[in-house]
Structure 1
Amino acid sequence: MSPHHPEVDVVVVGAGMAGLVCAHRLRSRGVGVLVLEAGPRPGGRTAGAEVDGEPVDLGGQFIGPGQDRVYALAAELGIATFPTYTAGSNVLETGTGRLRRFRGMAPRLGPVTLLDVAQARFRLDRLAGTIDTGTPWRSPDAAALDGQTLQSWIDRTVRTRGGRRFLALAVRAIWACEPGELSLLHALFYVKSAGSLSALTDFEGGAQQDRLVCGAHGLARRLAAGLGAGLLLDTPVRRIEQDDRGATVITEAGTAWRTGQVVVAVPPPLASRIAYHPPMPAVRDNLLQRLPMGSVLKYIATYPEPFWRTAGLSGAALSLRGPITMTVDSSPQSGRRGVLIAFVGGRAARDLATCSEAGRRALLLDALSRLFGPPAARPTAFVEQNWNDEPFTRGAYAAVFPPGTWTGPGSALRAAVGRIHWAGTETSPRWYGYIEGAVRSGELAADTVIRALRPRPPAPAGEAARPPS
């Protein structure tokens, strides 16, 4: 270890959206802050690239009503928003390859199946209304809800085979996992954190309603630029030590930064790879060992124009046949070029990742051509973002809570350990898994740290100082 220990008020570990927002808020309050990012770029689960001359989001990109903090942040930074393109018909590909056009968010599943799905959505929303997002483990019947998977609930609640298949597809689109991989309590918490299931799935009025003109990655870059020399990239943190006087954050290169408070703002699986001294409480170690990330691949295909629009299509599609889970029109606001994004989630993402790059490309272009016709098989550019292989995220969209996790070690998720605080979309009671959740968590962590740094007022003359409560 270097004998020189630079000092700073707060060290933030991770330059994803949560870490950047935390640092931005701390600096605005006059707090000295240093952000240490393991990777070569800021942004975390937001990422961007220029594809065929167009800036595109390789990670999180959508925002919608109820996500007040990210809208406010964009306005503060002078970043405009515009609506996601939704005009025209959506497409559902059945398991046998038939294409069914539909409007709104209710695909043509047949009247009996459609009613079956509707009653399941109603029951899920009603159950979600009972969940306390601040302390999910204290919700009514929490142990029973956390003792089963979402799949077991679907099996009991949904009567039709088509309904079960459609809901499984919805789970892959929302959570990037299989219904049997997450607990019912976590699914309900997730729905409640957004307000309703419709808030998660809808475009107009839902979480996919709007996009940022510069992209979500542009928002992250603007936050990072404001930090200047206060952001160090390619600087993995390997160890955090605490003592009575402060904390020491030690990087892979051996530099040791002395600080008053630390905010760890990385996905849970990565937080578990940092060595802590004294060690973390056993309950927190147990929690992090149980939290895998969702599995998702994102594809960007560009075309000379958004040709599907002239065919009366919105660009939004769902596929029960696979491997694609869903597609969205991600063309620039001007419409001067066509951009389709496609997601592959859950088991299909893991299976597809075992194929060669050429094999994945062929499968995806074949699927796009089935959904939108032969022109979709001839993009001018085609880019894959495999979030499962990203070394400093290890998956997306967020960590998945298996059965027994919320009611077991779940209470350790947000609790500070001495001078170490936690941020990231997983720690937010609102909009878990979304950019909004990351922004809220970063703001909350900054406010908590500011209170921790504020010296306690001296006791009045003649009175003994009271210990902290």
Structure 2
Amino acid sequence: MSQDISRRALLSGAAVTVSAVAGAGILGAGRAGAAPRGGTVDAIVVGGGLSGLAAAKSLVASGASVLVLEARNRAGGRVHNIKSPKVGATLDAGAEFIGPTQDHIAALAREYGVSTIPTYNQGDSIFWNSGTATRMSAALPLPIIPAAPQALGGLTKAQVEALAGFPVGQPWKHPNARYLDSITWQRYIDTTVTDPTAKMLMTVAMSAALSVRADEVSALYFLNYIAAAGDEQNPGTLIRLLSTDGGAQERIFVGGAAQVPLRMARALGNRIVYNAPVRSIGWSGTRATVRSDAGTFTARKVIVAMSPAISDQIRYLPGLPAPRVGLTRGYQMGSISKFSALYKRPFWREKGLSGQVYGNGRPIDVTFESYTEGQHILMGFISADAMRRLDHAPESQLVRECIENFVEYFGPEARDYIDYANFKWDLEPWSRGGPVAVSAPGTLTRFGPALRDPVGPIHWAGTETADFWTGYMDGAVRSGQRAAREVLGGLR
């Protein structure tokens, strides 16, 4: 098979130049450079999401020749904008929010001229408990209800454990790692609080972030997730993880978060090959051979910028070591969809509501207000069992259930929507869920180091491999930059 990096491949009926470009400073100029003729590039990046793009950007800036192979026909991965079908409004289908200490994604947004606005957080939010709505100030972390003190005690215990000797990004080194990784978050809740409402509050604190059931994820994993909600100068906190003002949901991107990776991809130019799912990676000596649907390419190094839950779709030759295999088998993607309804006016504000709901409502358990191009939006997450139930349901059923859920939360005006949009990440073949892959009990303490340990010429990226802000856009960027540093160290 040809190893000519500059050959033309026919992808989706259009001729696309497949090339890798060497030289530092090209990205800053925002233009493509000359492609080397034949031979081997310094690095192939598998995956054109934020992580892979950040890795490629760093490598090119250091003078390395790079080729990015992306399975989809677009860049961005789990950061994706879609259009509503009637009015054509731009909506965030995937990652959307940005907040304090997420400085890596913020720096990229500034570099590429993508601005942000505050998430609306005025008035009251709603705590929904089995059909009963309790209004609470949007500034409060918990509703003022009888179960609140016990729930606060349980969440405070989790926060203390997340700060007690947690080596962020290496939870298997926690002093109590073996026990915490032997139980699920559900077991952690059951041994911490007794009140049913307090249990539900602790469950929602996890499911709102991970979109899985409490019995599907290791307690150690979620405690590390809390510890990761910060940076090197600011320890991670549960408040920062879950809050709007001062938290991870503080701001949204004007025009959609996907503008950042799309502009990064434009700067990388013809270094990216789309419609190129990678089928196998083989290596021998100092060369790796990457076979994709767009052709076969060779490189000195490879970065696999994919979730560990789906990276095993690639065949590795020779095979991966047992710890890496065990790690990928112990991870699963969350089940999630984002449903958005567009309105001419934010009628909920007229009722003194922020547009935010959390609790055990179905199918939507968490909502936020959003805004795009003159349209006011109620956005809700469908997750875990509710999402799995609706994955293959008719679109009309999903829309009906979601709108009636909004009616329960905000009143009959919610039926007067002008358009809607929905994106089922479970059915997206190159993600298989979202927002992040989570680990089952026993995975991190047995196989955790394999999350980032290189295998031959292969290095691992993706938001799941980040230290701080794993699961978020900032974590994705951090992981790509870290993998690029590893590769550059091996190329010298």
1:378 to 412, 416, 425: 416
Contact 2:184 2:217 in 1 (8 A): yes
**What SS does structure 1 have at the residue aligned with 2:377?**
strand
Say whether 1:14 aligns with 2:55: no
Amino acid at match of 1:93: W
Amino acid at match of 1:187: F
Contact 1:97 1:321 in 2 (8 A): no
Cα distance between partner residues in 2 of 1:140 and 1:331: 44
Cα distance between partner residues in 2 of 1:68 and 1:343: 25
Q: Once structures 1 and 2 are overlaid, which stretch shifts more, 347-356 or 180-189?
A: 347-356
5+ residue gaps, structure 2, are: 6-37, 230-235
Q: Once structures 1 and 2 are overlaid, which stretch shifts more, 347-356 or 240-249?
A: 347-356
**What SS does structure 2 have at the residue aligned with 1:328?**
strand
2:161 to 95, 110, 127: 127
Match of 1:460 in 2: none
Q: Once structures 1 and 2 are overlaid, which stretch shifts more, 444-453 or 423-432?
A: 444-453
**What SS does structure 1 have at the residue aligned with 2:265?**
helix
Cα distance between partner residues in 2 of 1:175 and 1:261: 32
Amino acid at match of 2:211: A
Say whether 1:95 aligns with 2:127: no
Match of 2:343 in 1: 303
Q: CA deviation at 1:146?
A: 0.6
Q: CA deviation at 1:184?
A: 1.0
Match of 1:368 in 2: 406
Cα distance between partner residues in 2 of 1:424 and 1:316: 29
> Structure 1 124/235 Cα, relative in aligned 2: closer, same or farther at 3 Å?
same
Q: CA RMSD of the aligned region, Å?
A: 1.5
Cα distance between partner residues in 2 of 1:278 and 1:156: 44
Match of 2:180 in 1: 145
Match of 1:42 in 2: 75
Amino acid at match of 2:101: G
> Structure 1 452/292 Cα, relative in aligned 2: closer, same or farther at 3 Å?
same
Cα distance between partner residues in 2 of 1:264 and 1:45: 15
**What SS does structure 2 have at the residue aligned with 1:410?**
helix
Alignment TM-score, normalising by the size of structure 1: 0.93
Amino acid at match of 2:334: G
2:393 to 319, 334, 355: 355
> Structure 1 251/325 Cα, relative in aligned 2: closer, same or farther at 3 Å?
same
**What SS does structure 1 have at the residue aligned with 2:78?**
coil
Q: CA deviation at 1:321?
A: 2.9
Cα distance between partner residues in 1 of 2:168 and 2:3: 45
Amino acid at match of 1:147: S
Say whether 1:206 aligns with 2:206: no
Q: CA deviation at 1:243?
A: 1.1
Contact 2:46 2:278 in 1 (8 A): yes
Match of 1:184 in 2: 219
5+ residue gaps, structure 1, are: 455-469
Q: Deviations over 1:201-255 (max 9, x none)?
A: 00011000112223211111001101111111111110111111311111135x2
Cα distance between partner residues in 2 of 1:222 and 1:3: 28
Q: Deviations over 1:20-43 (max 9, x none)?
A: 111111112221111000111110
Contact 1:413 1:427 in 2 (8 A): yes
**What SS does structure 2 have at the residue aligned with 1:268?**
coil
Q: CA deviation at 1:49?
A: 1.8
Match of 1:258 in 2: 298
Q: CA deviation at 1:3?
A: 6.6
Cα distance between partner residues in 2 of 1:28 and 1:3: 24
Match of 1:329 in 2: 369
Q: Deviations over 1:122-158 (max 9, x none)?
A: 1000001122124211210211111111111101111
Say whether 1:30 aligns with 2:63: yes
2:151 to 114, 117, 138: 117
Cα distance between partner residues in 2 of 1:107 and 1:409: 36
Cα distance between partner residues in 1 of 2:58 and 2:345: 41
Say whether 1:106 aligns with 2:153: no
Q: CA deviation at 1:107?
A: 4.2
Match of 2:238 in 1: 197
Q: CA deviation at 1:101?
A: 4.2
Contact 2:278 2:290 in 1 (8 A): yes
Amino acid at match of 1:237: V
Q: Deviations over 1:158-182 (max 9, x none)?
A: 1211111222222221111011111
Match of 1:447 in 2: 485
Q: CA deviation at 1:310?
A: 2.1
Aligned residues: percent identity? Answer: 37
Match of 2:202 in 1: 167
Amino acid at match of 1:261: K
Q: CA deviation at 1:2?
A: 4.0
**What SS does structure 1 have at the residue aligned with 2:445?**
coil
Match of 2:34 in 1: none
Contact 1:263 1:445 in 2 (8 A): yes
Contact 1:306 1:331 in 2 (8 A): no
Amino acid at match of 1:127: E
Say whether 1:399 aligns with 2:437: yes
1:447-466 matches, cutoff 5 A: 447-454=485-492
Match of 1:248 in 2: 289
Cα distance between partner residues in 2 of 1:385 and 1:312: 29
Say whether 1:420 aligns with 2:458: yes
Contact 1:177 1:295 in 2 (8 A): yes
Match of 1:291 in 2: 331
Cα distance between partner residues in 1 of 2:168 and 2:142: 30
Q: Deviations over 1:312-354 (max 9, x none)?
A: 211111242322111111113x7x3211111011222112224
> Structure 1 33/133 Cα, relative in aligned 2: closer, same or farther at 3 Å?
same
Q: CA deviation at 1:299?
A: 0.6
1:429-440 matches, cutoff 5 A: 429-440=467-478
Q: Once structures 1 and 2 are overlaid, which stretch shifts more, 344-353 or 362-371?
A: 344-353
Q: CA deviation at 1:99?
A: 4.8
Paired residues, number = 450
